[in-house]
Amino acid sequence: SFQYFEDTWNDPSISGIMRCLPKQMAGYEYQESLNLGPTPLSPEEVDDLLTELSEEYAASTYHLTHRNCLTFAQHLATSLKVPKEFPPWILGILAASTKVGALDATVDYFWGWAKWYMIRKHEPAEEPLPEDSAEQASANSWTFFGMNPSCSPSVSPGPAKGSEPEASSGPPMPVQTLLSEELSDRPF
């Protein structure tokens, strides 16, 4: 079996290959077994192959549609040189997903977010910055982007904090309206 582990995405030294008896891996419900015939390889050659594959299939390389337990099973069956072909229908859902560009991109995008979440979930908690360090870091990031960290009423639809609100006959104008009015007064 080939799988990922939530806490090993940043460690390519951990294999995703697990040895288990057929249909006996805990947490999975098996529907059917397919016999592809005997391998011509000796038991020692099969052990060597599994050792090689355990290094090639790091848990961190798992992908929901491109590199998973089904693609591993196909690779294993081919490497074992069994007489029967790996059934193409088993990979049908994967093939459908990878042949439709938009679907493949969508699956890849959301798989990336799932991996990001799993990585973040297992990272150690960061120590909060002391108050003066947090303010300095914020000021530095504004300066880095060439922006002034102070508020500007020309881009804020509401009154500045602590100031008296002006009398208004309606709701605050959207930022786009304020900006377009401000820019319309400028000669270009």
What confidence tens digit (pLDDT) does each residue in 74-98 have?
Answer: 999 999 999 999 999 999 888 888 8
Whole-number Å distance between alpha carbons of 120 and 83: 44
Identify the sign of the CA torsion 48, 50, 53, 58.
negative
57 burial via Cβ count (<10 Å: 0-12, 13-18, 19+): buried
- Please give the angle made by the CA atoms of 69, 70 and 71, to the nearest 5 degrees: 95
- What tokens appear for 38 in the block? 């005997």
End-to-end CA distance of the chain: 66
Q: What is the pTM of this model?
A: 0.63
| Contact call for residues 154 and 176 (beta carbons, < 8 A) | no
Beta-strand (E) ranges in the chain?
none
Q: What span, in angstroms and rounded, lies between the C-alpha atoms of 158 and 178?
A: 11
Q: How many Å apart are CA 31 and CA 20, to the nearest integer?
A: 17
Distance, CA of 73 to CA of 89 (rounded, Å): 13
**How confident is the model at residue 183, as a pLDDT?**
46
In which band, very low, low, confident or very high, does the pLDDT at 161 lie, cut at 50, 70 and 90?
Answer: very low
